[in-house]
Structure 1
């Protein structure tokens, strides 16, 4: 009997471990690679990935909407997904990584600017792995649960669960978008205007 690995199915952290491409930092997307669209949020201290409109048709109405997204028109092109041979060549240029509890974390040259590789993927030792169009899948169950938790935590305004925080509103203000949600100074007290998705007590029930 002969067997072959067709692909892996993981959540996002395990995806990073299996593929060798780190899912943290500016180049977190393994498909967009070094063409990942990113910018840092000043108040939320997080990296934001908001270049999704470039995957829509060029004449889509969202392409020219500024205030609903990041305050800019979308003019970017759809990035080409790296082919298996391209990935294999990139991996050959990486120095070997030493593993172990006592070994200091090592970063390869160009990490975070030209690539996000933090180790060689052992799967490329398989003779057919570089020919696969789809090598890794995301586990939908984990994604659905995380998105659902965040949406419910926000519309129910649950402490510690909501994403609608003061820092989020300050980032909207810094970007110059969603002016109706900008914080208001009410006699020295910062007030967050009620958002359209905020539920009343009756609606929560």
Structure 2
């Protein structure tokens, strides 16, 4: 087993990353799910593991880190093996829990939190956001209709599609995005559940991170059904 990566940024790399995130906050455009795109989409480099990157992001991914820690052996994979992570924000988990607990309230059931939802079901859903291997916008741009990929551990079929938006009158002159879709075992796209990135191509020492819109509900529409037991 590989040794754990150190959870810190080298001084120069940290400054560069923070500056890039500042540019992201300043120059942005509305996305499909109410979040924003970076028109620059520069390749940020974080000198630490994917897990360490999540921990470093000022509380934006606390829920994701928490559930990664809950699922057996997943933290080791996120730290040490080559994966592409589509990172849902805290809000994505809030959205899912809100819908779950509204239903449970109507059924006179006690509310649930991330600490007591079913661990097996959590593992199943969480692994759909972790893709084997490394996928950047460059590697996806050559596939006009996107590409099918396998999620971590359970070889569940997911789908990635690269898009370049228009901006300021220029075709394909705007922000890059990746559509992450759960095809639900169907060849018909009308049955797919799709979410969108807000920022792409963050390189860590063991993989790639793409950040998802806060409008996404964690679980691709299955969270309430799977957790309401």
TM range (shorter): under 0.3
* Greater radius of gyration (CA): 1
In terms of fraction of residues, the more strand-rich structure is 2
Instruction: Flag the structure with more relative contact order, 1 or 2, with Cα contacts below 8 A and sequence separation at least 6.
Output: 2
TM-score normalised by structure 1 residue count = 0.23
TM-score normalised by structure 2 residue count = 0.21
